[in-house]
Amino acid sequence: VCLVGIASGQRYDSPDEAELNSAIENTKAYIKLSRDVGGSGVRVFPNSFHNNVPREKTIEQIAKALNVVGAFAADYAQQIRLEAHGNAGELPTIRAIMDKVVQPSIRVKLNSDKRDTNGEGFESNFNLVKDLLGDTLHLHNLKDTEFPYQHQMDLLVRMGWSGWQLLEASDKVPDRLQALIEQRRIWDRMLAVSLKV
């Protein structure tokens, strides 16, 4: 068993300063915990834009918080994995946040979300963040045809990405073990196709 890291739910979008500071301090505690248990990083969220708060202000705030926790994480040899989550987690917004981040320990974690195909399309959005990817990403039900899993795999293989593709599936299934085996078979087939391209 390999512990990849801590999947915290810490987010840096709150307009409430006390909540923001709490999220930063909680992240620091998760960084220490991840190091202590042999993990390599902590997952965090950008999360949400708020009414009556300019988007640019929220982007600045998230980036500033990431720089604080990123510097702390570097001292513990940990990665901060900014997951594309919430309405502030669309890939163009993630890119805007990362353009303001100076800490190399901050990396992007894809969430394999249908909205990644919005705007100019999946490959265009992927290209916005591909050079910022960390060593983990989320996959969901690989049978879901609303997300281009094969295309994502092709792009990851083409760029030589090496990391953990973590399955996050909450579907209700009669046999979890068989469902997991099926997901692994689908993943293996996709990887085989990508390696031939």
**Neighbour order of strands in the sheet with 79-83:** 6-11, 41-45, 79-83, 106-109
Asked if 78 and 101 touch (Cβ cutoff 8 Å), the reply is: no
Write down the residue that tokens 């974690």 correspond to.
109
Residue 93 has pLDDT above 90, yes or no: yes
Please give the backbone phi and psi of residue 51, each rounded to the nearest 5 degrees, phi first.
Answer: -60, 145
Q: How many residues does the chain have?
A: 197
Which helix or strand (DSSP H or E) is residue 9 part of? strand 6-11
Q: Which two tokens stand for residue 193?
A: 């196709």
What is residue 156's predicted lDDT score, i.e. its pLDDT? 98
Give alpha helix (H) positions in the chain. 17-36, 55-75, 91-98, 122-129, 149-159, 176-196
Average pLDDT over residues 45-53: 96
Q: Give the residues across from 138 on adjacent strands.
A: 166
Beta-strand relationship, 41-45 and 6-11: parallel
The model scores a pTM over 0.85: yes
Average pLDDT over residues 56-82: 99
Q: How confident is the model at residue 170 (pLDDT cuts 50, 70, 90)?
A: confident
Q: What is the pLDDT of residues 95-111, one digit of tens each?
A: 999 999 999 999 999 99
Q: 109 near 137, Cβ under 8 Å?
A: yes
Q: Give me the chain's average pLDDT, please.
A: 97
Amino acid 186 reads I
Query: In this predicted structure, what is the pLDDT of residue 197?
Result: 75
- 10: tokens are 């810490």
Average pLDDT value for residue range 105-132: 97
Give pLDDT, residue 142: 97
pLDDT at 171 over 90: no
Q: How confident is the model at residue 30 (pLDDT cuts 50, 70, 90)?
A: very high
| All structural domains of the chain | 6-141 (3.20.20.150)
pLDDT of residue 1: 86
